[in-house]
Structures are given as C-alpha cells and as structure tokens.
Structure 1
Amino acid sequence: MRLRALLDTDALGLRLLGGEDELDRTVRGVMTTDLRDPSRYLSGGELVLTGLAWRRDAGDSEPFVRLLVQAGVTALAAGEAELGDIPEDLVVACAQHRMPLLAVDESVAFATITEHVVRQVSGERAGDLAAVVDRHRRMMTSGPAGGGPDVVLDLLGSDLDLRAWVLSPTGRLIAGSKVAGPALPPETCARLAAEHLAAVRTGRRGPHRVQLDGVTYSLFPVRASGRAPQAVPDVRETVLSDWLLAVEADAADWPEERLDLLRGVTQLIAVERDRRDAARTVRRRLAQEVLELVQSGAAPAEIAARLRVAAPVLLPGLGAAPHWQVVVARIEWEDGAVASGPVAQSLLEEVLVDPLATGPEPADRVAVAHTGDEAVALVPLPAVAAEHDGSEAGLQADALLRSVREALSAGLEGDGRLTLGVSAAVHSAEGLRGALEEARHARRVAAARPGRVCAAGHQELASHVLLLPFVPDDVRRAFTARLLDPLTEYDRRHRAELIPTLEAFLDSDGSWTRCASRLHLHVNTLRYRVGRIEQLTGRDLSRLEDKLDFFLALRMS
C-alpha cells in the first residue's frame, strides 16, 4: 500500500510531521520497536512504530533515523502517549535523512495500525498471514513492544477462522485467541495434552489429529527455537517439556502452504518459550545457590542471607519474610539411558504453576534447581500469622497430583515415572535442610506406590514411619518441629505452659484427674490448656494416633 493511503485513513489518526514529498513510497510491512538499533530485524519497506523509549536525550534521534534509512524503512511513526509532543530533534533528524515522520495519537493503539497495514498489503489471506508470522517473529525477538503469541493467534482467528490455543505438557492454558470464543475447559486442555504426549511417544510426525466430544483438533508440537525434530536423539529428552499448539480443525486435508503457516506459528511460539525460559535464569541460579548451601551444611546465617536475596525476586513488594516449602521431583526411565535432570527442572516449574491460572506470572514465584536426575523447587509462601491455627498452608501433594496426572501419565506410558515429594512450610533457614530431607523422603514414599505419576506430602510421613531405621534424622527433626513449634512459640509469647502440660497429660495416660492433680490445676484449667494444644496443632488428644505422634515428638525433641 502507499504511505499516502495511511494518512487518508481517518480511523488511524495519523498526522504528517515531515516528508510531504515522499508519500508515494510503498509500505510492505510494519514493525513495532523501542530498540536503539532495530536494523537486524528489518528487511526493508516497513512502517516502523515506536514509543520513543530508546530516546534518552536529543543526541539519540539522528543515529536512530540513520539506521532506519540504511535498512530501507519506508516511514517512521512515533507515538505521543509517552512524551506528548514529538521531540523537535526527531523531526529535524527525519527531515535531514528524508524519512517521512508520522505522529500517532495517544488514543490509537499500535496494534490497530499494525492490523490495518497487514490487511491492506495482503494478496491472499494465507500468504499474508505467513508474512505476518515472520514479521511478528522479528518483532517478538526485538523487544517487549512486539507482544506475545496471543496476537498471532488472534490473526489466525480473524483471518482464517481458526480457533487455536497454546498448551503446556500438563494441559495448562498458556495463550489463546481472544476471538476464539470461550476458553477451553481445563478438562479438555488436559485431555488434549495427554493425546499429544501419547502421540509424540510413538514417534509420529505432527500434526496429530484428535477427536474429543465430536470436535476435531490438530495438535502441532512447539519445539525449542532452532531445534529440528531430528536434533533430539531420544524423544524422552523433550516430551515432558515441549509446548503444543492445538487448532480446532482437521489438518489432514490441508494444502502444504497452510501447514507451513501453522509450523511458522509454532516457531514463533517457540521464540516466546525461549524468552520465558531465559527470564527464569535468575530464579534458577538463586535456587541452585541455596540448594548447594543447604547440602554442604552451611551455617543457617549464610543460608538466611541467600533467602533474603531470593525473597524480593520471587515475591516483589512483600513486606514480611515469607515461609518456604521444598518440592522434589524425579523422572526415571526403565533403561536409565536418558539424563532427566534438566527436563525434571523444566517440568517442575510447570507443575508448580497454579493449574487454574493462565500466563507465565505464577511461575515467576518459583525457583527450581536440579542436581543429577533430581529437581528441587524452593517455593516462597506469604508469611503466615505467628499464631498457628493448625491449618495446612501452601502446596498440597494431592492437589499437585490431580492437576497433572492425566496428561503426564500419557507422556510416561510404557517406561517412565514421575515422583514428587512436598515438605511442610518452614519459616527459617534452620528448617530448610529438614524440609529438603522431608521432601526427598516423601518422594521416596511416593516412589513405592504404583502408577506413572505419584506424589506424597509431609502429612504422609506418619509417626510409625519415623520409627524405621532408614528415616534421616533431619526428617525426624522436621516432624518434631512441625508438631511442637506452635506450642513452643505460644509458650514463649504468652508465658504459658502448654509443653509441660502436654507431657504431663501423656504421662498420666490421658487421665484428667491425675494430670490436674500432678500439675496442681483445676480440671477446667487443664481442659482449657488441652483444648488450646489441639487448636494450635490441629490434633485430637483423644485419638491414639495423635497421642503417639506427640509422644514421639517429645522424645525426639
């Protein structure tokens, strides 16, 4: 299209600031950028949209415009939303280099201009979208101004009437077209992910055709950017970490041009996946540092210092120091031929995302390291009240299991297993080593169960298990702290005597009269204290199992 036609389109609200003699130039594409040097993403003929974030002072304008001219850009359109009026130095630089300059009113979104240009320059819809996908790939790699995969999925919906969604290997909805109608139900997402993983394990080339509830879907694998299928010698190295693109259509009879278009979309999504993985680098490094300190027996003060660094990164703006949980995961294959540590790390990051949430944000609050074939997650929790009430805060093993079991079981079918262990929450560096050992022991409990995907939590490390000789001392200490710390803290804050009362009550075999006489208390006072113990710990001292737990905890303290 001609540049002049853009100015004649009232809905775009563009004003010409310079370059009246250049309006017959041809616009062959559009790119949004705020990079100081975007030339490597330009191929010529583009209308460049910019919010001017690259401009720090007047001296930046001329080099920026010169780079655009050298790349063959047709025109520059600058948004007024950030700075108000377009800076005079940019107007002068464009005039010097004969670069047409347009002002974009703050009420007009760059996406509106992009969509208009895309539609106008298209010859045929599929061919046009292929060009859009390629341009958008460059836009996404040039910086945050280009947007995410949702934009291209919207174009698939509006221009080709294709409803499409991006799913994780666990079935979590990552992105979807806003014009595709209602979001896919979680159970449909999980079934699609399971079908995809099962098909990938067979070695068949995508797209994979699936029919659910009378609807046909075509599933395209989203592989790491730049990696061809033959680049992976064993599919088990990636089957549990790759995303997928689900399209509500039967691709069996599609022409090769349309298949190439969708494969281009998957490459675009892979770029976004790589970007999100890169953003996790800091959190992974923090987790690795903490894990190494804990395993090497470092002083609690040194571990606490690393936790203070991690807390603002994982929970920005949090006023109080958080509590922490540890989650351990291990992927095992029967022949032991595949190194699964990095895959377990990536998968655990995904598993720990809230299954009801979409987008990448929830994963930003989890730090996962890996050592050998084991992945270890450090999960911060908002600080809980110092007054314990016996409730279970944080992650629960059974909830994690329900959210991922269906899909991942299909990817592990035949020769693989995923086992997860979840610790209790701890509130200090002193408790972190015990939490790690507790999570590892819970994972071993899960590994003793049948099934492709199994999980166990700290609640399942019952008192009789602690009597076994192979249980690590750190697990015993963690059990003791979890049961008695609420009482110790209450005694400290209120100058109460709940711990001595508990010991006397157990030594009296639960006899109210004998215990009250031993403590020189009225029976009603004793009943109040026992009731407080039960409230703080969530236990019932009339039950034999809970009495045994308290008895062992007191003996091991």
Structure 2
Amino acid sequence: MRLRDVLEHPGVPLPVLAGHGELDRPVARNAYTTDLLDPARYLAGGEVVLTGMMWRREPADSEVFVAALAGAGVAALGAGEALLGPVPADLVDACRRHRLPLFAVPAEVSFRDVTDRIDTVLWAEREAGAVAARNRRRGLVARLAAGADLAEVWPTDGAWVLSCTGRIIVGGPLGGRAASGPPAGPLGGRATSGALGGRAAAGRTVGSPATGGGLTEADRVSPAASALGAKLAAAFLRADTLPARCRIDGREFHLDAPTLTPTLGGRFIACAGDGTALDELVELAALDAARHERARQVEARLADRLLAALAANADPIETSAALNACGLPTTGPHTVVVASFDTTGPAGFGESARILGRDRAVSPKLHGDAAAIVEEMVAQAGAAVVAADGTLVTAVIAGTGVLAPLRETARRMTSVLRSARVTAGVSEPATNVIGLATALAQARHAHDYALEREGRVSVVGCDELASHDLLLAGVPRAVRQAFAERLLAPLRAYDSSHNADLLRTLQTFLACDGSWTRCASAMHLHVNTLRYRIRRIADLTGRDLDSFADRVDLFLALRAAS
C-alpha cells in the first residue's frame, strides 16, 4: 500500500504539508499514535505516526521529534490540529529537511478515523494479494497436474531445490557467476526436476545420459556457489524441526522440505529473503513427489530385474532389454558401483559434529535411506539406475569418470555426520553388455576390499587394486585370516620370544624381489645374517623361499594380514 492510497481515500481531505514528492512511499503497518518526544524505540518502520504535538515545548523540539521518526524509517507523519491548532512552521520545515511526508489531521477528523482509513486500505490490498496468490497457486498446481516439469513452474530467482549435499536440483544460480546452459549444482550436476520425497525408491533412474563420462567446464559452477550450497545443506541437516531459518554470509534463508524432519539423502527447499513463498514452494515440491511415486515403484522393479540379470550373467539380449527398460543405453561404456552406508559409529546422530570448521549439533531426528544416499552420490555421473539389495546398493552408470566425483560427494556427506561411513567399490568401465556381469563382480570385490580399509570415506576403484588384492577381496575374511595365521603365527611367536625380527625380514626380502644384496642393504645386515634368518623362516613356515609358489603363499599371507 502506498501513502497516496491513504490520503486519496474517500472522506475528509488530509492536507499534505511536506513531502509532496514522497507520496508513493509504501505503508507496511497500521498507524501508531504517540506524543513522546523520542518514540523511536517503539517504532518498527513503515508505519504512519499520528501525534497531537503535545511533545512540543519549543520550536527546537520539532527537529528532535522528526529526526527520531526519520531514523526509525516511518512512512509518514500525521499532525492533529484539534488541541494545539494549525501545524507550526518549524515542524513543517523539519519534515522537509528529513524528507518525511507530513499531512494535517483537521479538528473534525479523529485519529480513529485515520486509523480506520489505513486499516481499510491495508486490508483491501492484502486481500487482493491473497486472492492473487491463491489463483497463482491453483494455476501452478494445475500445470503440474497437466504434466509440467517442476522446473517449469519454479521461480527463476531466490528459491531452490537442493540435495542433501548442496547440489542444485531445481532453481537458478545459487551464487557467483552461473555457467551457461541449465543451472548446475555445487558438484557439477545439471539442474533437473526431481521428486522430493524423503525416501528414495529402491530403484531409480537418475541423471541424464553421458557418453563420455566426466564433466565439462560448462557444467561447473563457481566456488562461491559450491560453498553456499554446502552450508545450506549443513544447516538443513542440523535442523531439529522444519521449517528452519539460517543466516549465511549476511543473507537470510528459510529451509523446509515435504518431510517433517531433515532426511539424509533427501532434498529440501531453500528460499532467500523473508520466506513468504516457502509454503507454496513446499506444496509444489510435495505434489511433484506424489506425482512421481508411482513411477518410482515401477523403476524399482525394473532396477531389480537389471541387477538380477547381471548377477546371473544372463544372456546379452536379456541384459540389453533390462538396460533399455531402465532408460540406459545398451552400448557402453558402463560403470558399476556397489556401496553401503553405515551410521552405527560410536558418535551417533545426536553427537556434536565438525561442520564447516565449527562444532555444530546434527539433528538427533536425522534419518536416511541407503538407496537415496547412493542415488545422490552418483547423481552427477550420468544416467544411472540404483537398486537396493539387502544392505548393499548397486548403481549402473552410463559413462566413466565416476571415481573422483563419488569420493567428493561421500566426503561432503560424512563431513556432516561424524558417525557415518561411506564404503564403495567402483568397477572398470564395461565396454559392452557382455562385460557388465564382470563389472558387477569387480565392484563387489572392490567394495569388500574397501570395507577392510580405515577411514569414514573408503571408495576404491577396481583399477587402483592389484590383481591379488581383488582376489583376496573375494575371499571371506575369516578364510583370509586363517590362511595368514597358519603361515605367519610361528614367525610372530619366534619374534616375540627371541626378538629376531623375522616377520620384517620376510616382508623386506619379498619387497626386494628375493635379492639377497638389496635386502641386506635395506636392513643393514650382513648377507650371511640374512641367509640365516631366511633359513629360520623356512624351517618355521615349511615354505622354501627359493620356490616361486612358496614365495607367493607367503606374500599373500602378508597381504591378507595387513
């Protein structure tokens, strides 16, 4: 509402005495009546102040009074003439100096009449705005129901749908200069419309086809956008309840989601500014999620069929049909990822976590879904189908270059939850359908190997492992430990009682490819001393280190024990 709307409202005229060029000022609040000389502490800004001028003892008081009003950001001043007569010139001059609109309230007009006039105009404008908002919401809902994509009805600025890692799903550039083409998230993923439910289906096709793998420069965003997205995601996951509000880099954001509490692996809405549109945006997101639920159920069944075909090493024609049904290309390359997400660490969800360099508390109500988490991890890698199989989640991705983005996304997730651990194995690219079954086996073995590693992020690529590591990863842990113990236990026992350093001698000898001279030099021993130790190792283990087969046994025992 503008000040002009109040002054021009039907009724007794309210003469304007100062600020004729300021009549288009917005009036955001109801009238406030005061006769205090300095009422600034009671003012919020945007209101019309009415006064009977009882505060005026001398002309200089007008400057004090008007300066206080101008500093508080009021919209205008109305001076009543019922008690003290016409408005004095010093008050008019003070209002002109401070560019504060001043109007007179004639004796026959009460302050109640002026207040009612302001209330009437405000109510009419708010009602018109509410009607327009309802009509707009109905129109947006109708467009979604008619098949429009969520991105088509989403605001172009000031609101975003983000993933739990801060990747933009829907919305314009989050910060810094945007790359050309569709908006991209902090990790480089294209902005697309997606369902916003808290729990992902067991199988789901995500992303868009990528034939070359990796990401082009046009897909990347500024570091400022990446940092802001990560901070918003951390604030979302810290929230105990929704909606939540946070202030980041001097900007205020309102956060909400279709779920009642933050969901790890889910998506959320961030709205900059006052958040007045947040409810409407959440409603759109929830409708979009409901619209996609039936498709998710179908995709889950298709993903399970593809995984079953790969596990059974099915006929290439059957595998190609399963790929095609999931929306993946039937020609390579494809990459397979097998992952698990463990949140059973000692810290627990409610413990303090180190987030963005400061101690923050992660919401104790935070929960997540392994399939949804892995879906987010592979979202930027290209077209992918994600299927859950017990505690493991398998993703088949059309493209290559998966390893580095996967590690980065896993790092982002575990930076929020101190107790979480992400473990994943990545296959070598399968150039054709026939190689997909082998790729699945490679990813599973790499995942088994990753489980043995330390750290909260253990993502292992098949090409990073030597062939014997993959072989050992496919052997049950108990079998590996028993094999290593049978060969190495006598050496440990002898070292413990004689301090003979036989175990380290064996490791160094094999690392030197059985070279007596190099091994003796590395251990600072005489060659005869080294020969004595090697004979003792042979006696205790029953293995001849001159035999290649026996050397392999001892080498694998050392690797299995490490």
User: TM range, normalised to the smaller chain?
Assistant: 0.3 to 0.5
User: Which is richer in helix?
Assistant: 1
Q: What TM-score do the two structures reach when normalised by structure 2? A: 0.45
Q: What TM-score do the two structures reach when normalised by structure 1? A: 0.45
The structure that has the greater radius of gyration is: 2
